[in-house]
Amino acid sequence: MANESTASISDNVVWHRATVTRARREAMNKHRGAILWFTGLSGAGKSTLAHAVEEQLHRMGCRTFVLDGDNVRHGLCGDLGFSAADRAENIRRVGEVAKLFMEAGVIVLTAFISPFREDRNKVRAMVQPGEFIEIYCQCPIEVCEQRDVKGLYKKARTGEIGQFTGVSSAYEPPDAPELTVKTAEMDLQDCVQKVLSVLEVMDI
Amino acid sequence: MANESTASISDNVVWHRATVTRARREAMNKHRGAILWFTGLSGAGKSTLAHAVEEQLHRMGCRTFVLDGDNVRHGLCGDLGFSAADRAENIRRVGEVAKLFMEAGVIVLTAFISPFREDRNKVRAMVQPGEFIEIYCQCPIEVCEQRDVKGLYKKARTGEIGQFTGVSSAYEPPDAPELTVKTAEMDLQDCVQKVLSVLEVMDI
A114 is catalytic: yes
Mutate which of A8, A64, A68, A194 to disrupt the B interface (most B C-beta within 10 Å)? A8
Is the Cβ–Cβ distance between B19 and A51 less than 8 Å?
Answer: yes
Q: How far apart are CA B75 and CA B12, in angstroms?
A: 36
Nearest C-alpha of chain A: how many angstroms from B203?
A: 22
Instruction: Provide the strand spans (E) within chain A.
Output: 34-39, 64-68, 107-111, 132-138, 179-182
Candidate from A13, A55, A137 with C-beta closest to B19: A55
Per the DSSP assignment, residues forming a β-bridge with B107 are B34, B64
Task: Going residue by residue through chain B, which has 204 residues, state the pLDDT in tens, using 9 for 90 and above.
Answer: 333 334 555 444 445 678 999 999 999 999 999 999 999 999 999 999 999 999 999 999 999 999 998 899 889 999 998 888 999 999 999 999 999 999 999 999 999 999 999 999 999 999 999 999 999 999 999 999 998 888 999 999 999 988 899 999 999 999 999 999 999 999 999 999 999 999 998 888
What single string gives the DSSP state of each residue in A104-152?
Answer: TT-EEEEE-----HHHHHHHHHHS-TTTEEEEEEE--HHHHHHH-TTSH
- CA separation for the pair A135, A174 (Å, rounded): 9
Burial B111-123 (b: 16+ CB within 10 A, else e): bbbbbbeebbeeb
Chain B CB within 8 Å of residue A99 CB? yes
Is the CB of residue A199 less than 8 Å from the CB of residue A62?
no
- Angle formed at CA A111 by CA A106 and CA A81, multiple of 5 degrees: 120
Burial A105-128 (b: 16+ CB within 10 A, else e): bbbbbbbbbbbbeebbeebbebbe
ipTM rounded to 2 decimals: 0.92
- A71 contacts: CB under 8 Å, gap ≥ 6: B100, B103
On average, the pLDDT of chain A sits at 91
Give all domains of chain A, ordered by start, each with its CATH number.
Answer: 31-197 (3.40.50.300)
The Cα of B100 is separated from the nearest Cα of chain A by a number of Å equal to 8
Distances (CA, A) of A164 to A133, A167, B2, B141: 25, 6, 24, 53
Closest CA to B200 of B28, B31, B26: B31
SS3 B15: helix
